[in-house]
């Protein structure tokens, strides 16, 4: 028997409009939106339904963090303001080998709860700490379950031996472990994707193996591409062509591909992505923080490349709010192009919500029948959401450009409340902080 919960609020943000006098019927067995209609109509249609009143909040789709490294939340503030390779060596490479299984869990719980309090309902964790084999991935999955967030594990396939040994697997082991997790976690709140790390950290054989897994299981695959100019120079030197062109020569550029960053691609390479159906996951704040450069987002838009947003890891950004990335993608591109129209607030909102669902191949990021019931409740009485006229024209511009986390009062994932009045429901802030404290004592004492 289907269990229904009816959620109502002051308004629901549907197709860029504030819609009043509507409620949402959620199938609590599947987490799907069953129907959107007047509350009285839904109560008549589903007389046994539970009821949840979000009061004077406005319900918007949950934001989608399409690229994060959860363990890096434990390294925030480490090696800040250093060149990229120095930052990498003195934060990631120095501390991640010291992390125990419980530290991996703690880092993930810390990252997921913080971003959820900032309005994220789905996260793709590009995860590569495999010193404990698949137990490492399962620790991240457990943290997501405990937080209540929807999780995509982009299980990293990494065979460059210059990295810490816990990152590195041979092709056969990486394929076996990734495939095993993909088979185990199907449906529900967890999805597993292959993620060959990059052209400098995954061999051509590893990249092609990741691509074959994506084809076999009909999923996307994720890969860092052209984040730093050194990768472009290295690929040119070794293969005589630029990164995307080289990947295309390997036969791995198609609808399964989602590249991360794509800062240093030529327009011709971006055109190839659009023609072949590949996606971009853009991390504007991280690219600024690490002095990577500025991705040419208008070019990706011109060539019809779907664009999702990610925060990247907290030690390569410091903040992990997708609503902040929505603001940043628009402002940064305006500053680069001197064109106020190049990325507007509608574009930015779609990148952080609906297109994130498209890129991750999940029915999320939109409030509509058949989509997952992943919602954020916004208080329009927070100073950062004002002023607001009765017609509400400023709602979306304010949501993108001025909203502070204090306006995020409630979060639900799969129809289940995970944040209320800004506080976690499934765990407590004090528990998370105590675990972080214990991990930091361990890392400092090593």
- Tally of CB atoms within 10 A around 391: 8
Q: What is the DSSP letter of 20?
A: -
Q: Do 247 and 385 sit in the same domain of this protein?
A: no
Reference 323, options 345, 352, 350, 343; nearest CA is 352
**Is residue 446 domain-resident?**
no
**Is residue 75 domain-resident?**
yes
Give the pLDDT confidence score for residue 390 in this predicted structure: 85
Q: Residues 259-270: what's their mean pLDDT?
A: 98
Q: Are the C-beta atoms of residues 185 and 140 closer than 8 Å to each other? A: no
Give the pLDDT confidence score for residue 392 in this predicted structure: 87
Final residue belonging to a domain, choices 311, 336, 360 = 360
- CATH number of the domain where residue 21 is located: 2.30.40.10
Distance between CA 308 and CA 352 in Å, rounded? 6
Reference 4, options 421, 415, 358; nearest CA is 415
Give the pLDDT confidence score for residue 30 in this predicted structure: 96
Specify whether the backbone of 80 is left (phi greater than 0), alpha (psi in -120 to 50) or beta: beta
Q: Do 50 and 109 sit in the same domain of this protein?
A: no
Q: Do 23 and 159 sit in the same domain of this protein?
A: no
Q: Do 261 and 293 sit in the same domain of this protein?
A: yes
Q: Do 135 and 20 sit in the same domain of this protein?
A: no
pLDDT of 186 higher than 90: no
Distance between CA 24 and CA 4 in Å, rounded? 10
Reference 220, options 254, 270, 183; nearest CA is 254
Q: Are the C-beta atoms of residues 57 and 426 closer than 8 Å to each other? A: no
The predicted-structure confidence for 325-350, as pLDDT tens digits, reads as follows: 999 999 999 999 999 999 999 999 99
The chain-wide mean pLDDT, for the chain, equals: 96
**Is residue 444 domain-resident?**
no
The predicted-structure confidence for 202-260, as pLDDT tens digits, reads as follows: 999 999 999 999 999 999 999 999 999 999 999 999 999 999 999 999 999 999 999 99
Q: Which domain holds residue 98?
A: 63-360
List, in order, residues 6 or more apart from 27 with CB less than 8 Å away. 2, 3, 4, 33, 34, 415
Q: Do 79 and 215 sit in the same domain of this protein?
A: yes
pLDDT of 301 higher than 80: yes
pLDDT of 1 higher than 80: no
Final residue belonging to a domain, choices 315, 334, 360 = 360
Give the pLDDT confidence score for residue 307 in this predicted structure: 98
**Is residue 439 domain-resident?**
no
pLDDT of 446 higher than 90: no
Q: Do 204 and 111 sit in the same domain of this protein?
A: yes
- CATH number of the domain where residue 309 is located: 3.20.20.140
**Is residue 443 domain-resident?**
no
Give the pLDDT confidence score for residue 2 in this predicted structure: 75
pLDDT of 128 higher than 90: yes
pLDDT of 375 higher than 90: yes
The predicted-structure confidence for 411-420, as pLDDT tens digits, reads as follows: 999 999 999 9
Q: Residues 250-275: what's their mean pLDDT?
A: 98
Which residue would you say has higher pLDDT here, 41 or 390? 41
Q: Are the C-beta atoms of residues 340 and 334 closer than 8 Å to each other? A: yes
Reference 189, options 236, 227, 147, 220; nearest CA is 147
Give the pLDDT confidence score for residue 173 in this predicted structure: 97
Q: How far is CA 99 from CA 110, 114, 126, 255, 361, in A?
A: 14, 20, 17, 35, 32
Give the pLDDT confidence score for residue 293 in this predicted structure: 97
Cα angle at 245 between 209 and 203, to 5 degrees? 30
Q: Do 300 and 162 sit in the same domain of this protein?
A: yes
**Is residue 11 domain-resident?**
yes
Q: Do 296 and 180 sit in the same domain of this protein?
A: yes
Q: Are the C-beta atoms of residues 59 and 13 closer than 8 Å to each other? A: yes
**Is residue 445 domain-resident?**
no
Distance between CA 227 and CA 294 in Å, rounded? 10
Look up tokens 């802030």; give the residue.
429
Q: Do 200 and 327 sit in the same domain of this protein?
A: yes
Give the pLDDT confidence score for residue 50 in this predicted structure: 95
Q: Residues 99-128: what's their mean pLDDT?
A: 98
Q: Residues 166-187: what's their mean pLDDT?
A: 96
Distance between CA 204 and CA 380 in Å, rounded? 51
Final residue belonging to a domain, choices 360, 378, 411 = 360
Number of domains in the chain: 2
pLDDT of 19 higher than 80: yes
**Is residue 430 domain-resident?**
no
Reference 314, options 80, 135, 63, 117; nearest CA is 80
Q: Residues 297-324: what's their mean pLDDT?
A: 97
- Range with the lowest mean pLDDT among 60-69, 319-328, 349-358, 385-394? 385-394
Q: Do 325 and 189 sit in the same domain of this protein?
A: yes
Q: Do 57 and 82 sit in the same domain of this protein?
A: no
Distance between CA 352 and CA 143 in Å, rounded? 23
């Amino acid at each position: 028997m289907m269990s229904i919960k009816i959620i109502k609020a002051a308004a629901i943000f549907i197709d860029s409009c504030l819609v009043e006098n509507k409620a949402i019927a959620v199938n609590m067995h599947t987490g799907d939106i069953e129907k959107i209609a007047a509350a009285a109509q839904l109560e008549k249609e589903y007389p046994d339904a539970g009821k949840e009143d979000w009061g004077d909040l406005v319900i918007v789709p949950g934001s989608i963090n399409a690229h994060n490294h959860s363990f890096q939340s434990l390294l925030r503030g480490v090696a800040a303001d250093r060149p990229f390779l120095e930052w990498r060596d003195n934060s990631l490479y120095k501390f991640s080998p010291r992390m125990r299984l419980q530290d991996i869990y703690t880092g993930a719980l810390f990252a997921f709860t913080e971003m959820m309090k900032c309005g994220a309902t789905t996260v793709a964790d590009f995860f590569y700490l495999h010193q404990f084999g698949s137990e490492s991935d399962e620790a991240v999955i457990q943290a997501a379950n405990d937080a209540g967030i929807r999780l995509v594990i982009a299980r990293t396939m990494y065979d460059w031996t210059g990295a810490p040994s816990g990152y590195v697997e041979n092709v056969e082991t990486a394929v076996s472990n990734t495939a095993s997790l993909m088979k185990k976690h199907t449906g529900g709140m967890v999805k597993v994707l292959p993620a060959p790390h990059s052209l400098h950290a995954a061999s051509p054989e590893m990249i092609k193996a990741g691509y074959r897994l994506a084809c076999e299981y009909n999923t996307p695959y994720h890969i860092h591409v052209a984040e730093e100019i050194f990768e472009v120079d290295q690929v040119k030197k070794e293969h005589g062509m630029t990164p995307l062109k080289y990947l295309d020569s390997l036969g791995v550029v198609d609808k399964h591909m989602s590249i991360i960053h794509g800062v240093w691609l030529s327009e011709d390479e971006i055109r190839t992505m659009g023609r072949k159906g590949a996606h971009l996951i853009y991390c504007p704040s991280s690219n600024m923080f690490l002095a990577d450069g500025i991705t040419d987002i208008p070019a990706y838009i011109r060539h019809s490349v779907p664009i999702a947003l990610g925060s990247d890891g907290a030690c390569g950004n410091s903040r992990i709010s997708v609503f902040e990335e929505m603001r940043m993608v628009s402002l940064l591109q305006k500053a680069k192009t001197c064109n106020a129209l190049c990325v507007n607030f509608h574009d930015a909102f779609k990148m952080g919500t609906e297109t994130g669902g498209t890129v991750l191949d999940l029915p999320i990021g939109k409030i509509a029948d058949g989509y997952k019931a992943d919602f954020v409740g916004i208080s329009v009485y927070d100073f950062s959401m004002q002023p607001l006229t009765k017609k509400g024209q400023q709602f979306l511009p304010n949501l993108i450009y001025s909203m502070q986390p204090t306006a995020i009062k409630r979060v639900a994932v799969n129809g289940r409340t995970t944040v209320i009045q800004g506080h976690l429901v499934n765990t407590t802030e004090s528990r998370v902080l105590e675990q972080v404290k214990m991990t930091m004592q361990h890392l400092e004492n090593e």
